[in-house]
Amino acid sequence: MRVMQVDASPKRAHSSSKMLSAYFIERLRKSMPDIDVDYMDTSIEAPPHLTPAFIEAMYTPATDRSLAMKQVLSYSDKLCARALMADMLVCAMPMYNFCMPSSFKAFIDHLVRLNLTYTLNADGTTTGNLSRQKILFITTRGADLRPGSPWQKMDALRPALTAAFSFMGADDPVFVDVQPLESHDAVLKATVLDQARLSLDSIAQRWLADI
């Protein structure tokens, strides 16, 4: 089984999202020691932002692309291949200014590719090609944006992730939203993290049972 693990926190240490994604992978390894993990940290291996040359190459039919166009798309091609080869995608990130870190947005921009991660049908509709993969998003938030909170309407992260990956065929991603983590109440923070680990335990057991 192959897992693509993508971390997006710029923190090298003390990152809650990285800690939780590593915890989930270890839970999988306990039952499946030979799991193949394809790891990426977008804060270190930051996907380049899209350029006019990339857009032109992306919408040029593959048979008509020049060598220069193929080179421009090479990084994106390889990234899409990694995602399509995976059986599970585990993506962990902090919420920054109510949405995702820019490095993960660039990751999505390279992943949404015609004739790779989605197909345009004759009737104008599209079919996503990531429908086979199990997908987990671990998001960490400083504030409390749960339903009933004054900040509830500020959550642009979960809708953005849902929309992008649903377009690519992932209609049922699993979310573990960990909040609030910037509380001055150390007991509350510890409780929130413990609850997140319990949720990850349950997801790991469920996914492994499905294999």
Tell me the per-residue pLDDT of 80-110, one tens digit each, with 9 for 90 and over.
Answer: 999 999 999 999 999 999 999 999 999 999 9
Amino acid at 35: I
Could you tell me the two tokens for 139? 């998001």
**pLDDT range class, residue 151, cuts 50, 70, 90:** confident
Nearest to 164 by CA among 110, 87, 93, 201: 110
Could you tell me the two tokens for 17? 């999202």
Largest CA distance in the chain: 60
0.85 exceeded by pTM:
yes
Please report the domains of the chain, with CATH numbers, ordered by start residue: 2-210 (3.40.50.360)
Could you tell me the two tokens for 141? 């938030």
What CA–CA distance (Å, rounded) separates 176 from 158? 10
Compute how many other C-beta atoms are within 10 angstroms of the C-beta atom of residue 169. Answer: 18
Compute how many other C-beta atoms are within 10 angstroms of the C-beta atom of residue 6. Answer: 25
What is the rounded average pLDDT for all residues in the chain?
Answer: 96
**pLDDT range class, residue 26, cuts 50, 70, 90:** very high
**pLDDT range class, residue 51, cuts 50, 70, 90:** very high
Question: What residue spans of the chain are helical by DSSP H?
Answer: 16-31, 52-58, 67-85, 102-111, 157-167, 186-210
